C-alpha cells in the first residue's frame, strides 16, 4: 500500500510538472531612435559649416551608424549629424570655432579602429545661422 501511494504521488507530481507551461513568451520592444534628439545650447552668433564624408568599415545600421551619429552629435559645437548606413555617408553641421574636420575624423576613429573617414568635403563654407 505504501508503495502504491509513492507511485501515485510521483505520478501526480510528474503530471503537474508536465502540464505547467515552461515556454516563456519573449517580449520584443522596438525603440524609435530617430526621435531621440541630443540637445545642447548652440551659440546664436556662431559661424557654421557643413561637411560631407564617407565612413568605411560600418557593418550594421543600428550598431555602427547610429553609434557614430550619436557620438558626432554629442560633440561640443556640433549642430547636427546624420549618418546614412546604406550609402556610407555622413553629413555634419558644426561650429567652425569649436570643431574642425580633423576633430570629426578623430571622433569617428576613436569609436573603433575599423571605421575610417574618407573624402571629407566642405559643402557649405562658413555661414551664420541668423
pLDDT category, 1, cuts 50, 70, 90?
Answer: confident
The mean pLDDT value for 110-120 works out to 91
SS3 labels along the chain: CHHHHHHHHHHHHHHHHHHCCCCCCCCCCCCCHHHCCCCCCCCCCCEEEEEEEEEECCCCHHHHHHHHHHHHHCCCCEEEEEEECCCCEEEEEEECCCCCHHHHHHHHHHHCCCCEEEEEEEEEEEEECC
Q: Is residue 106 predicted with pLDDT exceeding 60?
A: yes
Per-residue pLDDT, 15:
74
Q: What are the pLDDT digits (tens) for 51-72?
A: 999 999 999 888 889 999 999 9
Per-residue pLDDT, 109:
92
**The domain 45-128: what is its CATH number?**
3.30.70.100
Q: Is residue 35 predicted with pLDDT exceeding 80?
A: no
Per-residue pLDDT, 83:
94
CA angle 66, 36, 99 (to 5 degrees): 65
pLDDT category, 86, cuts 50, 70, 90?
Answer: very high
Per-residue pLDDT, 108:
93
Per-residue pLDDT, 4:
79
What rounded mean pLDDT belongs to the chain?
81
Amino acid at each position: 500500500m505504501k508503495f502504491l501511494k509513492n507511485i501515485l504521488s510521483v505520478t501526480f507530481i510528474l503530471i503537474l510538472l508536465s502540464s505547467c507551461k515552461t515556454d516563456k513568451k519573449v517580449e520584443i520592444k522596438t525603440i524609435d531612435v530617430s526621435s531621440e534628439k541630443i540637445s545642447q545650447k548652440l551659440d546664436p552668433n556662431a559661424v557654421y559649416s557643413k561637411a560631407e564624408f564617407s565612413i568605411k568599415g560600418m557593418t550594421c545600421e543600428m550598431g555602427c551608424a547610429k553609434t557614430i551619429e550619436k557620438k558626432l552629435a554629442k560633440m561640443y559645437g556640433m549642430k547636427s549629424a546624420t549618418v546614412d548606413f546604406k550609402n556610407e555617408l555622413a553629413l555634419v553641421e558644426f561650429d567652425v570655432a569649436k570643431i574642425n574636420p580633423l576633430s570629426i575624423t578623430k571622433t569617428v576613429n576613436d569609436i573603433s579602429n575599423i571605421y575610417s573617414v574618407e573624402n571629407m568635403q566642405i559643402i557649405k563654407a562658413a555661414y551664420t545661422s541668423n
